[in-house]
Amino acid sequence: MPSLHSVSRPSGRSLTGLIHGPEDGTPILFIAGAGSGKSMIFGDDLLDTRGIRLITMDRPGMGSSDPDPARTPASTAADYRAFVAAVLGVATPTVPIIANSQGALFGLAAAAQGWAQTLVLASPADEVAHPSVRALLPEAARALPDLVQSAPDVARDLLGSFTPDAMRTMVLDGSDVEDRAVYTARDFDALYRAALAEGFAGHGGYVADTMMATAPWPVDLDEITVPVTVLFGARDRVHSPDHGLLLAARIPHARRTVLSEAGGALLWTHPDLVIDAALQQPDTL
């Protein structure tokens, strides 16, 4: 069973998360995607055999973590760092980080701060407000990032009306048959519903996440000096218009791999490869 941890920040805010896997395992921080709280994990059947301690956290305003009115990508990364440091009992943590979907922004912010040992972006959501990426998007996909920049209050109200069921429906509607089979499998469906319940707990965490992710990213990618692996499935129709080609080109030391047999659910269909990349172990990519 995962162990529950709560950590206090100097401001008085509380951060809550889980540690999954063996106590003597190698710690890896997992940053989940849009609207997903601390319950979201991947590769749970590999944690014991691979000796992995997977650390997850409710981002501020999600689940049991207090909201941060002044939240930014950098402050969110700093919260992750403080949580990891506290649960591992170290002053300066250096751990591999795996970030999925909309969590990619916060993984990049952590890497730019210098405390990621490695960074794996598994099916990362692209920077849709970046001019080169925006030019590749279909017209419908430009609507939200344009609204965030032109009318942020309207965008917040719109995002605030979203629900866990609406998020799940959107994900399923954007998936092909193979990915939909992964997402609707009984065990994953229960996991995803629990994570979404945390992510939409009513404290504005999902809204803050999405406002930041669809605005221009205030992260200097040139500051990232650690190995970065960008992983995409060729069948992924959701996370990036070019399967992260432009994104990887903007990150120093980034290695991009597109798996022909995978889709947007790559994290759950190929967990061994993701863990190998995080640990910088030889793999078949």
pLDDT tier at 281, thresholds 50, 70, 90: low
Least confident window among 125-134, 145-154, 232-241, 274-283? 274-283
Q: Which helix H or strand E contains 179, and what residues bound it?
A: helix 177-184
Break the chain into its structural domains and give their ranges. 3-279
Give the pairing type, strands 116-124 and 228-233: parallel
| Secondary structure of residue 270 in the 3-state scheme | coil
Please give the pLDDT value at position 253: 87
Please give the pLDDT value at position 273: 97
Do residues 151 and 157 make contact, with C-beta atoms less than 8 angstroms apart? no
Claim: this prediction has a pTM higher than 0.85:
yes
CATH class entry, domain 3-279 = alpha beta
Please give the full DSSP string across 8-65, using - where no structure is assigned: E-TTS-EEEEEEES-TTSEEEEEE--TT--TT--S-TTTHHHHTEEEEEEPPTTSTTS
pLDDT tier at 283, thresholds 50, 70, 90: very low
Cα 111 from Cα 28, distance rounded (Å):
14
Handedness of CA 260, 266, 269, 274 (dihedral sign): positive
Q: Tell me: pLDDT of 74 over 50.
A: yes
- Of 65, 107, 119, 75, the C-alpha closest to 230 is 119
Q: Tell me: pLDDT of 96 over 90.
A: yes
Please give the pLDDT value at position 122: 98
Mean pLDDT score, 130-137: 96
Structure-token pair, residue 241: 């218009």
* Average pLDDT value over all residues in the chain: 95
Secondary structure letter of residue 107 according to DSSP: H
Please give the pLDDT value at position 285: 47
Mean pLDDT score, 68-92: 96
Task: List pLDDT tens digits, range 198-223.
Answer: 999 978 999 999 999 999 999 999 99
Please give the pLDDT value at position 268: 98
Cα 62 from Cα 201, distance rounded (Å):
6
Do residues 4 and 39 make contact, with C-beta atoms less than 8 angstroms apart? no
Please give the full DSSP string across 218-235, using - where no structure is assigned: ---GGG--S-EEEEEETT
Cα 110 from Cα 223, distance rounded (Å):
11
- Of 130, 206, 214, the C-alpha closest to 163 is 206
Longest dimension (CA), the chain: 49
Task: List pLDDT tens digits, range 173-197.
Answer: 999 999 999 999 999 999 999 999 9
